[in-house]
Structure 1
Amino acid sequence: MIKKFLKRVFRRSAKVKTLGNAQVIPFALHGVPREQISYGAKRVTDGLQAAGFKAFVVGGAVRDLLLDKIPKDFDVATDATPEEVKRVFRRSRIIGRRFRLVHVMFGEELVEVATFRCMIDTEDAQTDAHGRLLRDNEFGDQEQDAARRDFTANALFYDPTTQEIYDYHQGYQDTRNGVLRIIGDPLVRYREDPVRMLRAVRLSAKLGIALDPVTAAPIAQLKSLLDNVPEARMLDEVLKMLLSGRSVECIQQLRKMELHHGLLPLLDVIMEQPMGEKFIMLALKNTDERLSQEKSVSPAFLFACLLWHEVLSVWNGLVAKGERPLGAMHIAMDEVLARQKKKLAIPHRHDAVMKEIWLMQQRFDQRAGQRPYRLLEQPRFRAGFDFLLLRCASNEVDNDLGLWWDEFQDASEARRQEMLQPEGAGVAKKRRRKPRKKPAGEPALAASGQDAE
């Protein structure tokens, strides 16, 4: 109680200083101690300042600490050039072509260090026909660096030495008020970089804060600009959404703002089908739960889930036309992946995993002879089985199929022989089962399926 009282007293007496166009928020007011900054980030800022440069922890790390969240990483901004940074730290390397950054290593921690950049004047900027910036890599000063950042909450500079926060755009107050606000004119900033529209949706959902109405207003009329964004950048932003730990909220917000069209092929159509929507939401919920438990997730597994009903639709159409099921599945997979990669460049390294998971789904129906044994030997059986459980939970297939495989994989050899269907049989025999701990139909996805790559 005494500590809380003293903290309130100090906060009331603390005053915000003004330095140029920046508000300097003292520690007594914001309450983020130096100890919450990572070891590597403190070493970088201390080292650069000792060498006579300015250096601050910037961006999402400061924002997250103010929101009482644990930052994923700590980035540093400085007035030192990449070459000057490299001279200060022996274990460092310069990366990047469009804009050079420095990676400084401290054990397993990697700290990304960027030189202050300036805001490119609209008249002098190199843009495409839609206003998207093609060149944004000029060095500048701290105030210019703050101006070129996207949202006020991301334009905060924390000095671990003085424990002060430098704020040029009222980002501190916006963060405290739980508001995500874009810096400058939204129409201009979205045209400069359309991905900011997706980022606005992701950050508001991930952080649980409101999107400023003025920031949100132009998105509906400008969403077509996303068609001009390079595929690699779109993939990067979509993955950040899906792996944010709040993917369900992100997808719901995308739908609300009608930004989901075109990100994944016919995702908007799938989401309007009860079975497809349930399947996708279960997959996203499972991913969010794994991330909250600090478990690994597989982008390939997640993309396989998101694209499954499109593959299934094409497959059903081909089978109806007389194609053999296995051949039809191969055609459907190739067609959907080719269509997808015109919009979102899913890396080829994920293709094999996605196809294995999809192909296994037909094999789960084969429960006679040696086929179940051969399926158990597949390296990605767990991924395929977890995928099957999602299908069961969304009522796409009979739950008994998931229960059969759940028991078969851990059963004794004698019990397995009892469970096997006669060759050519299409219906599983009725059997007595021991009571399960989990209710029937609940996907048991905490194992290793999402670990498969």
Structure 2
Amino acid sequence: MLNRQPAAAELPANILSEPVIIPRDSHPISRKQIPEHALKVLYRLHNSGYDAYLVGGCVRDMLLDIEPKDFDVATNASPEQVRGLFRNCRLVGRRFRLAHVVFGREVIEVATFRGHHEVSADEQTDKVSRQDKEGMLTRDNVYGSIEEDAQRRDFTINALYYNIADFSIYDFANGMQDIEAGVIRMIGDAETRYREDPVRMLRAVRFATKLNMRLDKSVSGPVKELASLLQNIPAARLFEESLKLFAAGKGVANFEMLSEYNLFQQLFPQLKSYLKAPDEAPYQMIRQTFADTDLRIRNDQRITPAYLFAALLWWPLQARMEQLKLEGGLSDMDAMNLAAADVLGKQVQSIAVPKRFTIPAREIWQMQQRMERAKGKRVQTLLTHPRFRAAYDFLLLRAKTATPSERPHLEKQADYWTRQQRGVEIPSAADQARSDEAPAKRRGRRGGRRRRKPQQSE
């Protein structure tokens, strides 16, 4: 294990040569706020002779009286040593190896203190860092001391460590002062840190809106110029980041701030042209989508990414449909199906939306045409469709944000389906959400039991 520490002259400007140690009686964090399983991990590490700290967002949030979603642990034990202490531990990660201690559905993430990138030729090859030509870290298995680990963290407010040994907080970058001042500062040079991991630009925005803080000029300054680096991030990782941004109750604020810094355009390239006209229907629909999602979260209602992506990509879908109908004379439904494949195919190159969400999104789109044409018995069939509630909400959204020429027709249609629901049992939002989370059933012969043809008598 590495225990190197750079000379004081090499320290980033906002890293302290010695941490400020805040004793238990000078901060508000109590063990009563820490889940039982996190305490179990901390104490077993400590009782086994290792350092054990809560670190990062959980410490920051508890100081701000916000309930943390995750409790992450930092230690000087290697991942293999952590696994030796916990039978319920698995090692994950290629870029930086982590130990996950699993308690049923709860996972406590344990990270070994990270060290600096510079390594000598005689050090083990599995503890080296690698960067691509843009400066992004592609491998980072370099271990070090707690001081080095603090310098490797992204923002000062995340370089706070709660020590289970004496319940004190170690502040390595004046993070407590920045929390009190409501400002987000980067540890080290912002441009260099963004190039190491462009997702830090998204994190800066998310923390600013979540914590009601402002970005320091040194943090916000390079973002527009470097926004395109997000194109180098794996699409699967950006799907997880998009949920943190848009499905956690701060969708509108994140949308507006990301758009300002040219980051939203990297996540949704097909929406670039629509962001230039805030007064027009497409922009209004995008913003209203986030507003409705935020409201549902505040009201403790279920949401599904399927609806979110269906709403955001509606206008690119319409544009592609019109193009296909002009080129090939296709019917509305055929044009929609082809356009849906094209639009979703382009989107998953940026954000890898799983099929368990793209399939329901397509059904929500298809239901818009079916709801417009339904008559007689088909009305009752649609009312009991598993996707009806989402499709109905989507119709209301379209009516609310439509152009003046389309609004009367959509409002009339929405009113019709509102009246049709009286006395009919509609699948609940919870049922719909469970349906979205379940794996899509395979269609056709593949994966199913083959039917035998009935034998014919001779």
TM-score, normalised to structure 1, is 0.83
Contact 1:298 1:452 in 2 (8 A): no
The code of the aligned residue for 2:343 comes to V
Residue 302, structure 1, aligned to residue 299, structure 2: no
Matched residues in 2 for 1:325 and 1:263: separation? 28
Partner residue, 2:352 = 345
Residue 179, structure 1, aligned to residue 175, structure 2: no
Contact 1:245 1:292 in 2 (8 A): yes
Partner residue, 1:9 = none
Contact 1:383 1:448 in 2 (8 A): no
Instruction: State which of 149, 153, 174 in structure 2 corresponds to 1:149.
Output: 153
Partner residue, 2:376 = 369
1:31 Cα offset (Å): 1.6
Partner residue, 2:391 = 384
Matched residues in 1 for 2:200 and 2:249: separation? 19
Partner residue, 1:97 = 94
Instruction: State which of 225, 231, 235 in structure 1 corresponds to 2:229.
Output: 225
1:348 Cα offset (Å): 2.7
Q: How does 1:240-259 map to 2 (within 5 A)?
A: 240-259=244-263
The code of the aligned residue for 1:136 comes to D
Residues 194 and 329 of structure 1, relative CA distance in 2, 3 Å threshold: same
The code of the aligned residue for 2:371 comes to F
Contact 1:34 1:161 in 2 (8 A): no
1:268 Cα offset (Å): 2.6
Matched residues in 2 for 1:304 and 1:272: separation? 21
Residue 276, structure 1, aligned to residue 282, structure 2: yes
Contact 2:89 2:100 in 1 (8 A): yes
1:298 Cα offset (Å): 1.0
Contact 2:96 2:139 in 1 (8 A): no
Q: Secondary structure at the match of 1:364?
A: helix
1:244 Cα offset (Å): 2.8
Partner residue, 1:85 = 82
1:316 Cα offset (Å): 2.7
Partner residue, 2:413 = 401
Partner residue, 2:439 = none
Higher mean alpha-carbon deviation, 190-199 vs 255-264, is at 255-264
Q: Secondary structure at the match of 1:93?
A: strand
Higher mean alpha-carbon deviation, 142-151 vs 277-286, is at 277-286
Contact 2:227 2:266 in 1 (8 A): no
Partner residue, 1:291 = 297
Matched residues in 2 for 1:44 and 1:158: separation? 14
Matched residues in 2 for 1:203 and 1:367: separation? 46
Matched residues in 2 for 1:235 and 1:341: separation? 9
The code of the aligned residue for 1:410 comes to R
1:451 Cα offset (Å): 6.2
Q: How does 1:53-92 map to 2 (within 5 A)?
A: 53-92=50-89
Residues 331 and 165 of structure 1, relative CA distance in 2, 3 Å threshold: same
Partner residue, 1:12 = none
Matched residues in 2 for 1:410 and 1:65: separation? 46
Count of aligned pairs between the two proteins: 405
Matched residues in 2 for 1:317 and 1:22: separation? 61
Matched residues in 2 for 1:26 and 1:369: separation? 72
Instruction: State which of 332, 336, 339 in structure 1 corresponds to 2:339.
Output: 332
Partner residue, 1:260 = 264
Residue 319, structure 1, aligned to residue 319, structure 2: no
1:293 Cα offset (Å): 3.4
Q: Flag structure 2 segments of 5+ consecutive residues without an equivalent.
A: 1-15, 121-127, 437-458
Residues 310 and 380 of structure 1, relative CA distance in 2, 3 Å threshold: same
Partner residue, 2:203 = 199
Partner residue, 1:411 = 423
Matched residues in 1 for 2:177 and 2:432: separation? 43
Residues 451 and 308 of structure 1, relative CA distance in 2, 3 Å threshold: farther
Q: Secondary structure at the match of 2:20?
A: strand
Matched residues in 1 for 2:111 and 2:185: separation? 23
Q: Deviations over 1:247-298 (max 9, x none)?
A: 1100100122222223113223223342112212222122222223343321
Q: Deviations over 1:40-92 (max 9, x none)?
A: 11111111111111101111111111111111111111111222222323333
Matched residues in 2 for 1:307 and 1:68: separation? 37
1:158 Cα offset (Å): 0.8
Q: Flag structure 1 segments of 5+ consecutive residues without an equivalent.
A: 1-18, 414-444
1:174 Cα offset (Å): 0.9
Q: Secondary structure at the match of 2:107?
A: strand
Contact 1:234 1:344 in 2 (8 A): yes
Q: Deviations over 1:399-442 (max 9, x none)?
A: 221122122122379xxxxxxxxxxxxxxxxxxxxxxxxxxxxx
Q: Deviations over 1:381-413 (max 9, x none)?
A: 112112112112223652221122122122379
The code of the aligned residue for 1:330 comes to N
Matched residues in 2 for 1:450 and 1:253: separation? 29
The code of the aligned residue for 2:75 comes to T
Residues 448 and 42 of structure 1, relative CA distance in 2, 3 Å threshold: same
Contact 1:383 1:450 in 2 (8 A): no
Partner residue, 2:451 = none
Partner residue, 1:3 = none
Matched residues in 2 for 1:344 and 1:262: separation? 10
1:115 Cα offset (Å): 1.3
1:163 Cα offset (Å): 2.1
Contact 2:320 2:339 in 1 (8 A): yes
Contact 1:24 1:166 in 2 (8 A): yes
Matched residues in 2 for 1:98 and 1:130: separation? 16
Contact 2:94 2:139 in 1 (8 A): no
Contact 2:92 2:98 in 1 (8 A): yes
Instruction: State which of 116, 120, 131 in structure 2 corresponds to 1:119.
Output: 116
Higher mean alpha-carbon deviation, 350-359 vs 229-238, is at 229-238
Matched residues in 2 for 1:152 and 1:61: separation? 14
Matched residues in 2 for 1:151 and 1:158: separation? 16
Higher mean alpha-carbon deviation, 383-392 vs 293-302, is at 293-302
Residues 107 and 412 of structure 1, relative CA distance in 2, 3 Å threshold: closer
Residue 38, structure 1, aligned to residue 44, structure 2: no
Q: Secondary structure at the match of 1:295?
A: coil
Q: Deviations over 1:334-379 (max 9, x none)?
A: 1111222232222233221111011000011124222212212322
Partner residue, 2:447 = none
Q: Secondary structure at the match of 1:158?
A: strand
The code of the aligned residue for 2:323 comes to G
